[in-house]
Amino acid sequence: MAAIKLETLLFDVPGVGPRFGRKLAQLGLRTVQDLLWHFPSRYEDFSQIYRIADLEPGQQATIRGLIQDVEIRRTWRKRMTIIEAVIADNSGSIRAVWFNQPYLLNILRVGRVGNFAGKVSISDGELYLSHPTHEMVGRDEEAETRHTGRLVPIYPETRGLTSKGLRFLIQPLLKMIDEVPEWMPSSILEAQRLPEINQALRTIHFPEAIEDATAAKNRFSFEDLFLLQLFHLSQKLKLAREKAPRVQTDIERLKKTVEALPFTLTQTQKQSLWEILKDMEQPRPMNRLLQGDVGSGKTVVATLAALVVHENNFQTALMAPTEVLARQHFETLRNLLGKIGVHLHEHDRMPSVGMLTASGAEICYGENLSEKTTKSKLANEVRRGSVPILVGTHALIERSVKFNHLGLVVVDEQHRFGVRQRQALARGQSALVPHFLSMSATPIPRTLMLTVFGDLDISTITELPSGRKNIVTKVVSSENRPKAYAFIRGQVKRGRQAFVICPRIDPPKEDVAKTPQNRYEAFLKLDVKSVKEEYEKLSKKIFPDLRLAMLHGQMKSKEKESIMRTFRDGKTDILVSTSVVEVGVDVPNATIMMIEGSERFGLAQLYQFRGRVGRGGHQSFCFLFTDSNAKTTNARLKAILEAKNGFELAEKDLKIRGPGEFLGEAQTGLPDIAMKALEDIELVKSSREAAVGVLRDDPSLKNHPLLRERLSAFQKEIHLE
């Protein structure tokens, strides 16, 4: 028999066989490593073997005894079979009962000795074991057990694979497998007091004591965070070896520009701008995240940076996630440049800002004069280098767009912008890699900042421009809905606008409720407001005299764009929408944000919704509707009332909802154990220190070949770049 290693296919493991191997593969378990890294979620303590006479009702216990009697019965409907056995040890005897497992007759033979582990129940004053896990042990007292008489691993529900089945597979495998070479540096394991890999693997599945299982789990958590940070930190090192355009700041000139702004920059705006300019003076690419609440003035900071880049004869690309946002940026830039009175060119007929989206192109000349143009014309100007700032959507990454000398890429509301995308933007030009600035209003908890976004340097704008009013926020129960409607009407009369957010698009369908479980879920969802129904109700019954529109993700993007534009232009009074309005849209005239079923949204999301209002000079309001009286719901909604800023809220949200909320689809590749570990700031810090330490002495990991191998496998596993 060939040696069994981590990379051995489960097909080739004795006892697995092709059919079972296929089934495992369907569940994503292909190699020995896949299987061994399928960790238990908890353990059932069956370690002590009880005397039957000592059993008490309600207890989880293992007994060891002789099967004295077995019988099978069918219920009158002949639908169910019941097997009853009598098991005895030298202290007494007890009944054990199983439903619908007739094949047990082959195993539970009178005269055999077995362990039986399960819950002790009581009926008519008589104790019995209901559905105990059984394991025949023969008469050998010392025989090792798998399912009983020990801490028994319980695995996460996996389709078609029971915990028992997994124990059957994993226990012998742990014996057959060759020694696994340790990839973690031993100095780190020692410093952190973590078990070595072979021991950790054995004890996470079959621990002698619960402390051993915990230690093993800690090792794997630590390891995942360590690898994650090792990856990001080495990306950072790699990037630092690339060449970037040197952008020098003419301080005097910058001062004049800043003085020409129609407002004074806040302290942290200045600080952030400074950090950005300092980075760009370096001959290596900046990789920075600029974070700050909506309306804190990030775009202004990015614009000032782009001006400095332009003075150094480099172009800037500014990318937004949607057309509406791209247009908004385009207009902000145009206005701002107009106000500052900077002429990007001596000649007024030279373009200053261009905009490119899937649906068209525009160029702005001199002050405030903008013209529609064709994509190819704009692309030509960009290629010639005569467009200093190009704003757009993902259309900017298209092949037809080539910059002449791209110096800075600014990306709005998209945290992950890979090196590859950056290279695509800079394609066709010299070997220089442009500087990169990501802007985000989504507050990110510190643990995620260090791990998942660990390759980015961070600037934070912490204060809102002065004069901004607080948004009055209230949790409203459904009885008060009429009052809220009356209030909305009052605001609209004064010329203001309102958002109404609903958790879903369509009303729930009742016919999907096939199983009882689905029926129950459907019942729970019945009350959830849908955009379509609310829109019907509000436009026909409540506000027939007002102008309403509806917006949701099933619409074509053209349609969405035009609805958003109409609302932004003040031609709609009330916009009924799903969460699609979440990011970045700026409608200064909107003063009411009404959120239905608010308990269904994450705190960070609610915070984003609220940030859609209060952007103009008018007092704004946020109403959180909830039908839930649950304490936790209210605690959550209260958090949003009390939080001073988005970051505080993000930390709370992380505790309540876990990291998945923040990371979304992109990072679902992270193992569960790593996701859990991301909530632990101490573990994040210590693993980061360890990763920094390793890279300091050995930046390319050439002295740690096993670790390097493990890192590259990990990268592939979790779909990092």
Stretch 547-586: interaction string toward Mg ion, x if CB under 5 A: -------------------------------------x--
| Those residues with Cβ within 8 angstroms of residue 606's Cβ, 6 or more apart along the chain or in another chain | 595, 598, 624, 637, 640
For residues 585 and 617, give the distance between their C-alpha atoms in angstroms, rounded to a whole number: 16
**188 versus 587: smaller Cβ distance to ligand ADP:** 587
Total residues in contact with Mg ion, by rule CB under 5 A: 1
Do 402 and 427 contact (CB within 8 A), yes or no? Answer: yes
| Contact residue for ligand ADP among 263, 348, 519, 703 (CB under 6 A) | 263
| 257 part of the interface to ligand ADP, by CB under 6 A | no
Q: What DSSP string runs through 20-64?
A: HHHHHHHTT--BHHHHHTS--SEEEE--SEEPGGG--TT-EEEEE
What, of Mg ion, ligand ADP, none, does residue 440 touch, CB below 5 to 8 Å by kind?
A: none
- 691 is in the binding site of which of Mg ion, ligand ADP, none (Cβ under 5 to 8 A by kind)? none
300 is a site residue for ligand ADP (CB under 6 A)? yes
Residues forming beta bridges with residue 135, ordered by sequence position: 115
Task: Find which of ligand ADP, Mg ion, none residue 426 binds, CB within 5 to 8 Å per kind.
Answer: none
Min dist CB 535 to ligand ADP, Å, is 28
Q: Residue 229 Cβ, how far from ligand ADP at the closest point, in Å?
A: 29
- Residue 132 binding partner per list ligand ADP, Mg ion, none, with a CB distance cut-off of 5 to 8 Å that depends on partner kind: none
Closer of 377 and 469 to ligand ADP (Cβ): 469
Exposed, middle or buried: residue 383 (CB in 10 Å: 0-12, 13-18, 19+)?
Answer: middle
Asked if 265 touches ligand ADP (CB under 6 A), the answer is yes
- Which window, 239-247, 248-256, 293-301, 522-530, contacts ligand ADP (CB under 6 A)? 293-301
701 binds ligand ADP (CB under 6 A): no
Query: Closest separation between CB of residue 335 and ligand ADP, Å?
Result: 8
Site for ligand ADP in 431-460 (CB under 6 A): 441
Residue the block writes with tokens 């459904």: 478
Residue among 297, 351, 503, 646 that touches ligand ADP (CB under 6 A): 297
Rounded CA gap, 296 and 108, in Å? 71
User: In this complex, which beta carbon is closest to ligand ADP, that of residue 465 or of residue 671?
Assistant: 465
Q: Of ligand ADP, Mg ion, none, which one sits near residue 374, judging by CB under 5 to 8 A according to partner kind?
A: none
Residue 299 touching ligand ADP (CB under 6 A) = yes
Q: Which residue, 584 or 597, has its beta carbon nearer to Mg ion? A: 584
Distance spanning both ends of the chain, measured CA to CA: 38
Label the pairing between strands 351-357 and 360-365: antiparallel
Which string of DSSP letters, residue by residue, matches 620-685? EEEEEEE----HHHHHHHHHHHH-SSHHHHHHHHHHHH-THHHHTGGGTTS-HHHHHHTT-HHHHH
Q: What would the two tokens of residue 154 be?
A: 């319980």
Q: Please give the backbone phi and psi of residue 261, each rounded to the nearest 5 degrees, phi first.
A: -65, 150
For position 296 contacting ligand ADP by CB under 6 A, the verdict is: yes
How far is the C-alpha of 441 from the C-alpha of 612, rounded, in Å?
11
**Cβ(319)–Cβ(389) below 8 Å:** no
Give the nearest distance from C-beta 299 to ligand ADP in angstroms.
3
Per-position x/- string for 273-292, each x denoting binding to ligand ADP as judged by CB under 6 A, each - no binding = -------------------x
Q: Is 294 in the site for ligand ADP (CB under 6 A)?
A: yes
Q: Which does 245 bind (CB under 5 to 8 A by kind): ligand ADP, Mg ion, none?
A: none
Only one of the segments 18-26, 298-306, 449-457, 508-516 lies at the binding site for ligand ADP (rule: CB under 6 A); that segment is: 298-306
| Number of H-type helices and E-type strands within the chain | 24, 23
Match 């000398």 to its residue by tokens. 405
Question: Beta strand pairing status for 126-136 and 92-99?
Answer: parallel
Give the separation between CA 642 and CA 591, rounded to whole angstroms. Answer: 20
Give the nearer residue to ligand ADP in terms of CB position, either 153 or 297: 297
Mark 513-552 with x for binding to Mg ion (rule: CB under 5 A) and - for no binding. Answer: ----------------------------------------
Minimum distance of ligand ADP from residue 330's CB (angstroms) = 12
What is the smallest separation between the CB atom of 272 and Mg ion, expressed in angstroms? 14
8 A C-beta contact, residue 431 and residue 263 = no
Nearest to 675 by CA among 654, 655, 656, 660: 660
Taking the complex as a whole, how short is the minimal distance between the CB of residue 396 and ligand ADP, in angstroms?
18
Does 465 contact ligand ADP by CB under 6 A?
Answer: yes
Of 115, 235, 266, 577, which one interacts with ligand ADP (CB under 6 A)?
266
**Interaction between residue 225 and ligand ADP (CB under 6 A):** no
Q: How far apart are CA 440 and CA 438, in angstroms?
A: 7
Report the residue closest to ligand ADP, judged by CB.
297
Compare residues 581 and 711 and give the one whose CB is closer to Mg ion: 581
Q: How far apart are CA 555 and CA 562, in angstroms?
A: 11
* 296 binds, options Mg ion, ligand ADP, none, Cβ within 5 to 8 A by partner type: ligand ADP
Residue 716's alpha-carbon distances to 227, 231, 668, in angstroms, are 12, 11, 13
Of 549, 554, 547, give the one whose Cα is nearest residue 505.
Answer: 554
Which residue reads 């493991």 in tokens? Answer: 13
Q: Does 298 bind ligand ADP (CB under 6 A)?
A: yes
Q: Using CB under 6 A, count the residues that bind ligand ADP.
A: 16
**CB of residue 264 to ligand ADP, shortest distance in Å:** 6
Given the complex with ligand ADP, which of 529 and 615 has the nearer CB atom? 615
CA angle 692, 694, 700 (to 5 degrees): 105
Q: Is the distance from CB of 10 to CB of 25 less than 8 angstroms?
A: yes
Least distance (Å) from ligand ADP to the CB of residue 304? Answer: 10
For the CB of residue 303, give the shortest distance to ligand ADP in the complex, in Å.
8
- What are the residues binding Mg ion (CB under 5 A)? 584
Residues interacting with ligand ADP, by CB under 6 A?
263-266, 269, 292, 294-300, 332, 441, 465
